[in-house]
Chain A
């Protein structure tokens, strides 16, 4: 091993001595005993690294970050459809596979049915992070949406706007951006999706909500102010009505 090769390897050696027993460094570390110039170089390299590690470690962190992160535990609720037991997921997979094999051509994709679209959207929401940002109120969510050029003036009821929110996320669905907000209603975690008008076809123009069941989740979908909304959660439809 040349001195330059030893330097190359030793630059990855941490200053706390944890790597002294790593075989990857053994030969280069052994060279230090026989090469005083290399030993001097390594001592200085470690001295600089120690100081730079201290510098990076002193970069200021927002003082309220820890509080926000700890608060997340009390507001972030894993959606129930993500907590299904493994056997249920396996059974669902088998049903899906059987469906693929057995369903006649007539049931293969044609024009999407309005009732299947909430299920598609909920499945999409299961993927990736549940929220992109934690936010406790509707105005905070609006601020976050505006910063991302996403519509923030939402034709929601005052009852919904006044709730305690948990977070927000932007999804890509059918080539368009969909806002998803998480909030608690009557102690239940619900997700509220905001879509472009017409993304859920078949909804009455007069804003009357349509209720459907997707798995064990109830959904309510309605249009208002040129926007389409979908509320999903383990709530009774009658309870949902109070917030639409």
Chain B
């Protein structure tokens, strides 16, 4: 028990020591004095018992309050994590769309400037050139998903790394 806790119960400590003294000097104490001491001790014990009951009850309530506060913090933390994840996903999705747009522009220029003249040189059929462009266009969505997945993994790795650093 800490010294501070002992100080809070200094009255009770004093009363206890007094009763010990009376007990030690039992031989020299008259029955009447002893009875008075016993009466005083029992009433003080009753008082202390009441206080202990109150303090225990207050302490239990404090613990409940702390538990409730901790539960609330955990819930808020989960909500916050979900929101952060959603924001990260949205941010990554925007970044992936931008990258895919750049790729699309590049592929469009490539198909118009390089592939189409080559295809037209070999085959005299517009449908093949059109089909090639369609394949490129269809491939854009999987490319976007792939980029999103890579960026998301990278972001999660970064988040875990910063959590590890904070814990250290």
Same complex for A and B? Answer no
